Amino acid sequence: LLVAFPKQQIELAAPPLHAAMAHSALPLPQPPLVYNTWLDNFAELDLDRLHRQVAAAAEVGCEVFVVDAGWYGAGEGWACQGDWQEKKDRAFHGRMGEFADHVRGAGLGFGLWMEPEAIHPGTPLGKNPPSWLLPGPTGMLWPDLSQQPAYDWLRDEMSRLLDTYQAVWMKIDFNQPLGPDPAHCGLRGYTDAWYRLLAEMRERFPHTFFENCASGAMRLDLESYQQFHGHFLSDTVHPVDSIRIRQGTLLRVPPGGLYTFTVLSPAGAAPCYPHAAADAPPRALTPFDATWQRAETVDVGFAMAAALPGILGLSGDLAGLAPELRQQVARWAGLWKENRSWLRLAQAHLLTPVCPLPDNTGWACFEFADPDQALVLAFRLNDLSPTFHTLLRSLDPNANYALHWFEDRPDETRSGTDLLADGLSFQVPGPFQVTGLTLTHQG
């Protein structure tokens, strides 16, 4: 694959790549809006808390509820990997099927997490490893899928979980590196078998969404992009980080399969100038990096919009948010649902330069488009100016477009010729806030 850099601008290479992949990628189903438990309480699964999150997820419009790590095995942490039986002494106490029924009763589909390629040596399988279970560099074991017994075991385990819990979503993680290839072929046989297994799973379970997590999409390339329905970008979910990660990723793969969390939890009682704590408006927290060791308050719209293009997911303590904040989440979720079908095969235009992850200055602007519509997002980062002007790139000069702005700004109709020549100006009152609009082709 050869990709040109028009005008020596790397950002201009993205749309042709996205157009080429649209014709060869895996047919993508319409993605549901997902809530995932991980960044609410990590692997600590408390049933009462989960019930509250199910209700809140349904309230804001989620369609699938995914239980992340913590539900399986008899040990602690990584020591459970490869033992895909339910915990009996905590989490759901062997009754996750009942919880899955509760999720479905609330109107959502049920999903779960697993890491199929990692087996801890202390698990039942790892204690008496068959010949196809090989040592990896971190002390974990991995199944050599080029051997048919390993392939059959993993296929049957994944199928058992999907059948048992009637799961419509499976989050497939990959945190442990594999060992050297015993065939000395650079894991070619393994990789071919892995892709064959994924194809068989998609055929067996046509209504299940298979997510590639891979420790934050570290196993994401043009080939793996075609093997999963969606690819989780990173546990690093701070909105500015998500924006920067997305900029770089869009140079490598299309936007439609990229899956990102918005993570929100209540900020609690704290003053917000000029308001004292007792009179301060409710606010939300979002984590820095991939954990909650550090966090900061965040504008809900800014956090939601940072995850909007592609596949939107939610995590955190939705139930603990003030009702007015959940209403904001629901409004942004509704905007995503209105556009998700065409965003699956959209091309992305990076209207501002790609910047490294630590850079939180300036503006970041994206244009996502197909022949009939476009979505433009303008993020004001740590910038002194409340105004940003940019030219657009995807529009038909011979067509008219209906412009619908996110904020209280009147809708209008303008010609593609004028929009391409004059561009658009965006007004955002404060740093780390967002605005944008949709443009619909009028002929």
Q: Give the model's pLDDT for residue 355.
A: 98
Interior CA angle at 237 toward 405 and 169, to 5°? 90
Range list of β-strands (E), 73-218 = 109-114, 133-135, 141-143, 169-172, 209-212
HSE-up of residue 294 (Cα within 13 Å, Cβ side): 4
Q: 363-441, what's its fold? A: Immunoglobulin-like (2.60.40)
Residue range 26-345 in CATH 3.20.20.70: yes
pTM of the shown model: 0.97
Cα(188)–Cα(145) distance, integer angstroms: 11
Q: Give the model's pLDDT for residue 343.
A: 95
- Six-digit token pair at 267? 């900020």
Give span(s): CATH 2.60.40.1180, the chain: 363-441
Task: Beginning with the edge strand found earlier in the chain, give each strand of the sheet holding 412-415 in spatial order.
Answer: 347-350, 363-370, 373-380, 433-441, 400-405, 412-415
Q: Give the model's pLDDT for residue 4.
A: 82
- Six-digit token pair at 406? 């996110």
CB 423, CB 391: distance < 8 Å: yes
Instruction: Please state whether the peptide bond connecting residue 121 to the residue before it is cis, i.e. omega within 30 degrees of 0.
Output: no
Q: What is the pLDDT along the chain (443 residues), one digit of tens a residue?
A: 777 888 889 999 999 999 999 876 677 779 999 999 999 999 999 999 999 999 999 999 999 999 999 999 998 888 999 999 999 999 999 999 999 999 999 999 999 999 999 999 999 999 999 999 999 999 999 999 999 999 999 999 999 999 999 999 999 999 999 999 999 999 999 999 999 999 999 999 999 999 999 877 789 999 999 999 999 999 999 999 999 999 999 999 999 999 999 999 999 888 888 999 888 999 999 999 899 999 999 999 999 999 999 999 999 999 999 999 999 999 999 999 999 999 999 999 999 999 999 999 999 999 999 999 999 999 999 999 999 999 999 999 999 999 999 988 899 999 999 999 999 999 999 999 999 999 999 97
Give span(s): CATH 3.20.20.70, the chain: 26-345
Q: Write the CA distances from 366 to 3, 77, 217, 354, 441, integer angstroms.
A: 20, 39, 21, 11, 18
Range list of β-strands (E), 118-178 = 133-135, 141-143, 169-172
Q: Give the model's pLDDT for residue 408.
A: 83
DSSP string, 8-52: G-GGGGHHHHHHHHHTTSPP-PPPPPEEESHHHHTT---HHHHHH
